Structure 1
């Protein structure tokens, strides 16, 4: 009788161990499934964030290029990685302008968009009129992160037709094409925008 009780207790312990082991396995599979699903959702959301940031960048540069003006003391300059040009900027008023102190107004100025290959970011910085004349800028702001590369292509009207250039100096082009290349879970992808400049030539 005593031997049967000891055998029953041993059998019960073995069944308990099997139940606990199978529960741990089921819980582990559930945790792994949740984590892998979460990582996939995070990767997809991160991909969408980059695309949204690029779309916002395209909107910002399009707005700035619609407000371009021609002024001999503030010259445009561009290459494949950066583009600076005179435009209307919303910024702090100059001290001698007659506006209240710390007032923000729309005024003549300059904007520069550039790609930093070390940080893989696209930045925007602007200058009010006095800064633009002295070739200075306020602090840059990051527009897009996680970018592989950017390419500005400038289109210029000539008597023979429109030609594409990789660099401009001291004149406003008739249009600009911006190509942004980035990587996500689907591999290397790109987005591009063609922007007409109303006063360009």
Structure 2
């Protein structure tokens, strides 16, 4: 059995930049065990698998350790593969996913835009384990699927060296740390050792 695998660098115009995702087009779904083994062997933060059903594509995402319910860069990567290698006349692709229908549109400039569900975090108490894992006390903390930890300066974000063992024990999928940027609106980093992604280069779903 042969399976095509594409590797796409999302969120960038330059090779070896951005966030790489593997994309595997399938004619029909394989067993979860096989999908997980493929993702583990790819050893990227996400491997996307899609199957076309009528006019939409069913899409699933796997980290090296588990399936996840939402992933930004691998969704863009899957759309890029469809637009460029399967249906070059399309200007919009709809994915059916664990998080509902997701739409990616291609502009005339070939830029891709996607509409993602909002995951508004709620203010929460600051877990002691989170402070110990990050090593610095933040200004604010919010919780949705992930902890969103807000600091006061870009320098704090740069110098944090998290304890991955402690992060893995938290009651969230991942941890986003963010602060106002010195020359941009904000800076952020994303850690998800629980699902096999110690630190993700760029995380679309962290900005939902």
- Band of TM-score, shorter chain: under 0.3
Quick check: which one's helix share is greater?
A: 1
Q: Give TM-score, length-normalised by structure 1.
A: 0.22
Instruction: Determine which structure has greater relative contact order: mean sequence separation of CA pairs < 8 Å that are 6+ residues apart, divided by chain length.
Output: 1
- Higher Cα Rg, which structure: 1
